[in-house]
Every structure is written in structure tokens, then in C-alpha cells.
Amino acid sequence: MSTVSQEVHLVARPDGLPTSEQFQLVESDVSDPAAGEVLIQNRWMSVDPAMRPRLSNGQQPINQVISGGALGTVVASRNDRFKEGDIVQHGSGWREYHLSDGSDLDHLDAAGYPETLYMHVLGTTGFTAWGGILITGKLQDGENVFVSAAAGAVGSVAAQIAKLKGCYTIGSAGSESKCDWLRDTLGLDVAINYREGVLRKNLKAAAPNGLDVYFDNVGGEHLDAALPRMNVFGRIPICGMISAYNNFGAISTGVTTLANMVYQRITMQGFVVWDFNDRKDEFLDDMRGWLNSGKMHYEETVFEGIESASEALIGLFTGQNTGKMLVKLA
Amino acid sequence: MSTVSQEVHLVARPDGLPTSEQFQLVESDVSDPAAGEVLIQNRWMSVDPAMRPRLSNGQQPINQVISGGALGTVVASRNDRFKEGDIVQHGSGWREYHLSDGSDLDHLDAAGYPETLYMHVLGTTGFTAWGGILITGKLQDGENVFVSAAAGAVGSVAAQIAKLKGCYTIGSAGSESKCDWLRDTLGLDVAINYREGVLRKNLKAAAPNGLDVYFDNVGGEHLDAALPRMNVFGRIPICGMISAYNNFGAISTGVTTLANMVYQRITMQGFVVWDFNDRKDEFLDDMRGWLNSGKMHYEETVFEGIESASEALIGLFTGQNTGKMLVKLA
């Protein structure tokens, strides 16, 4: 026996903004589990900016299933650790069914929270924001903070953590409706629409006391604007550089203000979420507390069906998501 | 009574490369010491790239003596801490005579070393290099290192420390004769003349195992070339950005490769020498040991007379120094 599974393959490497022709929906026959194996029906797929560099730099093989976060239900198991009905997370999306030896699967105990929260605020993007701003960024209560792409899955959590720590918090986003969400729901002090006016001038006006932490998701023009605003011993955790990902070789707009690194003795540091693995429990304690007390807000932007996955990924770079971008499988 | 002293004033702020018209030699009458005061005849003046930003950003007042490191001899004293003949260092150059209340003076115990060494390898530039590469740069034995402006006062010490720690060490400089010095005297593995060919390509060819530490004195094109070569958890101590100092607002050539900060989880950190003050004794122990065993080499580029001071400063930015740039007073 076997199960028919639709899966998304990368068939050509994007140089710039990905196009739908570079992705192909392929039908595959997935075998029933052999001894030790588990069959998962995926129900949710994660769509993340960090997937983009892998499509160009060779880490994602051509004509194979695209790697990405997924959440699904065990539908057949010959592995003692998993039974039918278990909810699991893994990194072997984008496909409807995943046959695993169990080594790449994490059990999900979703009690008390909608399961999709484990794909964002209680999952990788939430943990990325928490570690990036508190550990890499060494955030102190009451500092002055700027978060770029603050309406994104990571940025929205980083900005809210800054507010929860009593910081004066500025966020940038690419539309008026996103800026309204940043101000009205997340409670940021200033929201800057980076598509309007001159970002450098708007940020200067928004930061009368300078910046102690700039949480960078964007790079390029945003980083160029933030550097002259940094206070002495400022920290710039670099979470991502979405502005560069769609240029061949991830070449950004030139950053010309780096002399401030020495004038203000700034620390800029790139990080990834697994740098914080030993503090996962602390993160979950914090985040559950904030969720339970209604202090952590989130949005999901959901595309329906595996056939919409490439459109969802492209949409990340054209500003179609507020909060977490997800694909819901049938 | 008083003493006639020539001093150098800044009379106009440079936008780009400073010109001699922006400096003026002014004759001043310096009073004899009052109670508690000390009169110093300066004999050496220090000329440093870090002086340049102060000329444009307002830290250096117009029509006043330019601040800068100096070494001199006490010629009259009414202060118990100092007596005639004492050798002292201070930051109140550029003038022939300095009248002080003693609070800005450091006694120099130059026994065993030429006194000018306390203006470079045993002084600020040596300490800057030591702290920048070992503390900020967290250098480990046997790593892969690149130092820009490696024939300069700071760069030449940083590069030699890397070699003393068993590192594969690449240096850049702006002439063939400087590159010869880097290879033949300092023993660097590769010296790159950044004025020849394409720096990015030459650095790539020179660093087959990538870079763990890039000690940056230059910024701009050098930093742009180094970032894609960095290994995971690489460190970039930012000592200076001499390529930017002569552009209005210290605007550098655009750095487009900063996405590597996140891909390789790089740490970039600006620093100044006084960040390391609590480790001065450790630095002096190291440096004296290296000097005594003949393992630390240095050069001095000496301009004669206070009237040559502005020329010496301009010369820093046109590549006229190998090692430390000094002005010898009459």
C-alpha cells in the first residue's frame, strides 16, 4: 500500500524575487511505514524569510521537496515513540505526507493553546525573537528600541517583548494598516511606514533619545538609517536581512554609516534560534505567561492548500503577511 | 616671565581630505608655572587616524590648539609630583610647550626602551591592537586572520600578535614596499596591495580556509570584501574606518555583504582603547616580553618640526607612513 502525496519541489534557482515557475507541485507515492517508521499527514506548513537564501545558495537541492517547518498528525506508526493521532512538528515540509524514522519529529503538547501557536509565538519565530532581543540584544528594561519588519512573525514578538520590558519601542512596516496594528494592538510608541517619506529622517524624528537596541530583520536601508541613531554600547542583533535575500548573492543596498560602530562602540551580532536551545524552557515559561495574561498578541496570514505554498513564500517578500505566514493543508 | 610656544590650531573644518589651509601655526606666550603647575617642553607628537573625525564632528574646537598625544620633558615645576627632567605623556599636543596642573600628565619610566616606543608599541596604538584582537576579537591560537592597514601603527601590532599566536595571517597595505615589509619583516603569510587588482578577489584567493577574525581599520571596500570570507562565529573588531573619515559625516563606500552576519553568526564590535584599561599591566607584560625577545617589530615615520604637523596628519590618509606617524619637535 501507499499514500498519494502532493509535494512542492524547487525546479530552478531564483536570482531575484522568486517566481511561481521555479516551483513545481509533484505527486509522489509514499510507502506505508516499515518497522520503526511513522507516517505523518501534515496539516500546517510554515513559510519563513530564512527559507529564501537556501533556494539560491545550493543548500536546497533542485528537484527535491523544499525543506520547511510543518505540523501534522501521525496517521500510521510502527515506532514505539509515536501512535496514531499524535501531533508532531518537523522540518521536512512542504508535502502532504511525510514518512519518517522518528528522529526528526518533536511531539507537540498543545494543551491550552491553538496548535498553530507552536508554529509562531510558542515556536521557532517566537523563540527567535525572545533569544535575539533578550540574549543577543542584551535588552535592559526601559531602553530605546527599534524593530524592523515589526509586523512580521519575529518582529512582532520582539517589539512586544521590548514593550513588556518598559522600553520606548519603534517599529517599521510596509503599509498603513500594518502600522495601525503596531500602534493600536501591539502598543508600540511609534510605527514607521518605510514606504512613505525618507526612512532615515523618520527614524531620526522617532528616536529623540537614540537607540540602545536595533533588532534587524531587514538590513540595507534600515540598517543604514539605524546606525547613526545608536547610543554608546548599543546592540544590533541581526536576525535576518530580508531586503537582501532577493538579490543574487544576498547583496544589500550599501550600508554607508558603519563608522558609527566605532564611534559608539556598537556590537552587531548575527544569530540563529538554535544558539538559544539551552534556554528553551525559560522562553516557554515567559511566552506562556504573556499569552495567559493577554499581553502577547499575534496574527496569522493563512494560504489554503499546498498548491498555494509558492505564492505564500513569494508573498513574504511583497508584504502580504501580517504576523506569521502559514499554509493550511486540506 | 613667559615662554614662546608655537602651536597648531584648527581654523576651518575639513569636509574631505584635510588641506594645510585648515590649520594654522600660532605663536603663544606660555606663563611660568604658578603654584601647583608644571611646564613641559614637548619633544614628540603623535599623529593618529582617530584624530580625523574630531576635526569635522565638532569635538575639536575651532581656533584652539588641536588635541593629540605628546611626550615631553618637565622644564619647570611647582608641583610636588613632578620635577625638572621628568619625562611625561599627555593628550594636550600639538604645541611646543604645555602648562599643566599635573592632572593630565602620566610619568614615563622609559628605562630599557627608546622613549618613542611609549607612543606606539608600548603606548596607545600597541594597547589598542592588543585589546582589539585578543579581547574584542577573542583571537584563538591557530585561527585565520585578516588585518587591514596592516602596515599602520595599530595594524602592524595586531598582525604580529596574530602571527605570535600561530595564526595564518593576511594583511593589506597600499604599496608594494609596505607589502614587502609585512612579508619580510613581520612574517605575514600573505600581503595584499589593495591598490592593485580587485581586493575582493585577492582576499578570497588569500583565504582558502576563510577568516575567523577580521581586524578592521579601514571599513568600506575592505569590510565588504571580508564579510563573505568569514567563518561561522567569526569576529570583526572594528578599530577604525579610515576609508570613511574623509567623507562628510564619515560616510563609507556602501557595504553590501552584511547578510553574512546572520549566515555565519558573526560578531562585529567597535571598541576604543580605554575599554581595556583594567588590563594595562597584562598588555605591558606581553609587549615587553615580545620586544625583549625580538619578536615585535616596528617602524616610525617621523616628520620634523611642529610646522610639519598638518602635513603629517594629511599624510596618514595618503599612505605616507609605515608604522607610527610621529612629529619630532625641535
Structure confidence by residue, pLDDT tens digits, A144-193:
999 999 999 999 999 999 999 999 999 999 999 999 999 999 999 999 99
- Asked if B253 and B224 touch (Cβ cutoff 8 Å), the reply is yes
**Greater model confidence, B157 or B1:** B157
- Respond yes or no on whether the N-terminal peptide bond of residue A94 is cis (omega within 30° of 0): yes
Nearest to B124 by CA among B224, B273, B288: B273
Contact B258 A269 (CB under 8 A): no
C-alpha cell belonging to residue B134: 585578543
Determine the residue of chain A that is closest to B254 in CA distance: A254
Residue at B47: amino acid letter = V
**pLDDT value at residue A302:** 97
User: How far, rounded to the nearest angstrom, does the alpha carbon of residue B89 sit from its chain's CA centroid?
Assistant: 16
Contact criterion met (CB below 8 Å) for A33 and A79: yes
pLDDT interval class at B1 (50, 70, 90): confident
| B272–A267 C-beta distance less than 8 A | no
Tens digits of residue pLDDT in B119-128: 999 999 999 9
pLDDT of residue A1: 78
Q: Are B229 and B210 contacting, i.e. CB atoms less than 8 angstroms apart?
A: yes
Side chain identity, residue B228: P
Residues in chain A: 330
Average pLDDT score, chain B: 96
| pLDDT for B309 beyond 80 | yes
B interface mutation test: which of A218, A230, A253, A256 has the most B CBs within 10 A? A256
CB A13 within 8 A of CB A55: yes
Shortest distance between the Cα of B267 and any Cα of chain A, in A, equals 4
State the residue for C-alpha cell 520503526.
A36
Q: How much is the pLDDT for A61?
A: 95
Count CA within 13 A, CB hemisphere, residue A278: 2
From first to last of the 330 residues of chain A, give the pLDDT tens digit: 799 999 999 999 998 999 999 999 999 999 999 999 999 999 999 999 999 999 998 899 999 999 999 999 999 999 999 999 999 999 998 999 999 999 999 999 777 899 999 999 999 999 999 999 999 999 999 999 999 999 999 999 999 999 999 999 999 999 999 999 999 999 999 999 999 999 999 999 999 999 999 999 999 999 999 999 999 999 999 999 999 988 877 889 999 999 999 999 999 999 999 999 999 999 999 999 999 999 999 999 999 999 999 999 999 999 999 999 999 998
The Cβ of residue B197 has, within 10 Å, a number of other Cβ atoms equal to 11
Pairing of strands A300-304, B23-31: unpaired
Q: What is the pLDDT of residues A101-129, one digit of tens each?
A: 999 999 997 778 999 999 999 999 999 99
Q: Can you say whether residue B193 is alpha, beta or left, with left for phi > 0 and alpha for psi between -120 and 50 degrees?
A: beta
Q: How far apart are CA B176 and CA B183, in angstroms?
A: 10
Read off the pLDDT band of B93 (50, 70, 90). confident
* Interface check B135 vs A, CB under 8 A: no
Q: What is the pLDDT of residue A330?
A: 82
Backbone CA torsion sign across B153, B155, B160, B161 = positive
Between β-strands A267-270 and A211-215, what pairing exists: parallel, antiparallel or unpaired?
unpaired
- The pTM of the full predicted model, rounded to 2 decimals, is 0.95
Mean pLDDT in residue range B258-286: 97
- Say what percent of chain A tops pLDDT 90: 94
CB pairs under 8 A between A and B: 114
Q: CB distance B256–A257 less than 8 Å?
A: no
CB contact under 8 A, A259 and B245: yes
Paired strand residues for A300: A324
Residue A178: phi and psi, rounded to 5, are -65, -40
